Amino acid sequence: MSAGAHQGAATGQVEQVLQQVSPGRYDAYEALLQALSGGQVWMLLWQGQAGAPDAQYGNMEVDGLGYAPCVTSPAELAASGWTRAHEVVPGAEIAAALYPDRWGLWLNPHAPGGGVGIPWLDLRRIAGGLDRLPAGPLRITEPVVEIPQFYALLGQNAHRTPAVRSLRRAWVQPALGVPYLAIGLDLYETGRAAVESVRLMMQQSIGAVPEGLPVSTVAMEDEYDPVAMWMRAYSRPFFDRGAHGPAPAPAASYGYGYPRPH
């Protein structure tokens, strides 16, 4: 199959899966993200021509969040009535371009029902690897499991690991997949030696976790990670090498970083 034929098949898959997406169908939505990561979209240009320095994508706002509108095929482009220029872009490429500025992608806004919006957090997952980042929207709360031995051992090992400034924790329930305990790592530095020392710290501590309880780590300096965002806003460190900071805000977590469901 030629590259062009492969892209065409991927684009057809985007449209096929798009028809299955509905509120609460996280499996279909996840399949849409997968299809988009290997497909392409027709970005609607508000001004300029494709590839020109002054080219700008259109923009729309829904529930206070910004999105760039696009269509999923030449047929949908014709149906949209769009008369300005457009640009055909691989899904993975547009995801990587939009999410750092916290822009989402809106598919076929002209369609009956208004199309489907993909928040920037899910574009980040497409850009970073759908299998590496948990499926949203995430329900994030204080941990619901009592494992004081693990926290005590982790705190002791962190005290002996100079790269660690503080540690936080959260209980994360993805839209798809098993819930897990997240440990937020706030480090003084992120060089190779520091990262290796933190990896060793976690390895020496993980034996105190009950069998079958998944544990993941998140970098607190990652300004795009929804779990780190929640921890910075709502949680207090359980290990803090320095002075105590201000009290966190009252936790309110559903769908953190995503539009609220209607």
Q: Tell whether 58 and 85 lie within a shared domain.
A: yes
Amino acid occupying residue 190: T
User: What residues make up the domain containing 123?
Assistant: 3-128
Query: CA–CA distance from 85 to each of 16, 52, 53, 98 (Å)?
Result: 25, 11, 14, 19
Residues listed for the chain: 262
> Tell me, what's the pLDDT at 237?
95
For 106-164, the DSSP string reads EE-TTSTT--EEE-HHHHHHHHH-TTTS--SS-EEES--S--HHHHHHHHHHHHT-TTE
Domain check: are 25 and 109 in the same one? yes
- CATH (domain of 205): 3.30.70
pLDDT at 143: 94
Q: Give the pLDDT of residue 1.
A: 31
Tell me, yes or no, whether 114 and 218 share the same domain. no
DSSP string, 56-75: EE--EEETTEEEEEEESSHH
Whether residue 20 is found in the same domain as residue 111: yes
- Among 128, 150, 166, identify where a domain stops: 128
Domain count, the chain: 2
In a domain, 134, yes or no: no
Strands 86-90 and 215-219: unpaired
Per-residue pLDDT tens, the chain, 262 aa: give them: 333 444 445 557 899 999 999 888 999 999 999 999 999 999 999 999 998 888 999 999 999 999 999 999 999 999 999 999 999 999 999 999 999 999 999 999 999 999 999 999 999 999 999 999 999 889 999 998 999 999 999 999 999 999 999 999 999 999 999 999 999 999 999 999 999 999 999 999 999 999 999 999 999 999 999 999 999 999 999 999 985 555 566 665 556 667 766 5
pLDDT of residue 3: 38
Q: Do 120 and 183 share a domain, yes or no?
A: no
3-state secondary structure of 214: coil
Q: Can you give the pTM of this predicted structure? A: 0.85
Domain contains 246 = no
Residue 61 lies in a domain: yes
